[in-house]
Structure formats: C-alpha cells, structure tokens
Structure 1
Amino acid sequence: MNRMLLLLMTAAFFTACKNEQPSNDQARIVFEPGDLSFIASSLNPKQETMSALYGNDSALRSLSKDGHQVIAGAVMKLVTWRYHDNPQYFGSKINGELLSVETIQAGSNDSIAYQLDLGTLQHQTPQAERIAYIMTYKPVQIP
C-alpha cells in the first residue's frame, strides 16, 4: 500500500511540473516606453493593427496646441502591433506581433527627424507624410 501511494505521489509530482510555452503567434511583445508617456491610440480594422503614441512633455504640448506645431525637444514614438482576438474575453482584441516603432524628434531649428526604429511599414510612405500623419494624433483627455 505504501509503495502504491509513493508511486502515485511521485507520478503526480512529475506531471504537475509542466512548463507550457505560448505559441509564437499568440505571444505578446510588450513595448517599454522608458521616460515617454502614453498620448493617444488608434485602431485600423482593415489592416488589423493597433497603434499607441508615446511622447515626452514637449510632444504632448505640441499635439495639444491648435495646428499641432512641433515644439523643440519633442520626442514621439508610434508603436504599431498586429492585433488578435483575446482568448479570455469574447469580442475583445489584444496586441500581438510588434510590427513597427517609429520615432520623431524635433530639433531646435524647426527640423524634425524621422526614424523607423524597428520593423517595416505595410506601405512605403515618404517620411514627410509619416511625420504629418503622426502629428494628426490628438491626445487622450484624462479626467
């Protein structure tokens, strides 16, 4: 009887220690914004992507002003993910594959630098158009 109990406990011990790895298509990649704060987000159902715009205080002030004039020292990062269904909640979406990270930096002499830090864009677009698009984001109003 003791051997049977010991055998069952040993089997339970080894089967309980299972380390399941998520499948690659369901793994979430978390973007670390560093010192930048969340400014706005967007969803593109046709391309099945979601984007989040992060920036420093100068970027927030730039986007809050009428006309969206860039303030010197503004730094913005537009992070885009492919989204997929959330397996825990019916009808909701969560971010999945990280597609791109784009950065805009405003210099002191009205120059704006654009850089694609990570990934590729789905459509090749001139830098000036990407900058203009990113500057159309309106900051989320938090009460």
Structure 2
Amino acid sequence: MNLYYGAVVFAHVVSAVISVGPLFLLLPLIRRLRTANAEAEEIYLAFIRVIIRLVMHAGHVLVVSGVLLIIFGPWPWHTSWVILTISVMLLSGVFLATGFSAVLKKFHESGNTKEEIIKKLRRTAWIYISLMLVMMWLMVQKPAVW
C-alpha cells in the first residue's frame, strides 16, 4: 500500500508541475502576438491551444490523484484546506474551460481589436496562474483555516 501511495503522490506532484509550468510559456507567446503577422499569429495561437490542452489534461490527472490521496491518506474530506483546495480547483476548472476558449474565439471576430484581445488573454493567463499557485499553496502548506 505504501508503494502505491508514493506512486500516487509522485503522479500528483508531476501533474501539478505540468498544470502550472506551461502556463508561464504563454506569457512570451502572448507578448509576441502583438507584433506577429497573420501567419505567425496562427502558429502562436496553435501553441497557446496546445498549452491549454496540456494543462487541462494534467489537471485531470491532478484531480484523480488528489482524490486518491484524500481517500487513502490521513486527511478527512472536511479538513479546511481540503475544502478550500476543492473550491479553488472547481473555480479554476470552470475558468480554464470558459476563460481561455472565450478569449481565443474572439481573436478572429470582427469588432474586437487585437490589442484588446491580447490584453484579455494575458489577464486570463495571470488569473489562472494565480489560482493554480493558491491551490498549490493550500496543498503544500495545509493551513487549518477553521
């Protein structure tokens, strides 16, 4: 049992790194979108979509491994840091599903300026990075809020 628990902890940590790390690659890509021509713009947008998909799938592994760690670990579901982590996780899941997709769809719609969309994309990336870092802090620090 101890070997399996260690393997799940490892999968959880690796998936946490993969669900945050690639997001930092978005920042230089978004910056380069400002001056990109139409061909390069499509390449940058494709990279952004791949990064979002990678983060999303790593998030699935993160959730499943987290649930297994709570089920087989020493912490009950009603612990404050577990409840807060689940709350932030749900918020970030909804945000990832709606935030990036909505902004990327607006990129080629008429009536939106390129600069406006890039600004929203950058803000969306920072909000999601912040949510993920709060979630990581809760999982590592395990604060007793109540």
TM score, norm. by length of structure 1: 0.27
More helix by share: 2
TM score, norm. by length of structure 2: 0.27
Name the larger-Rg structure.
Answer: 1
Bigger relative contact order (CA 8 A; separation at least 6): 2
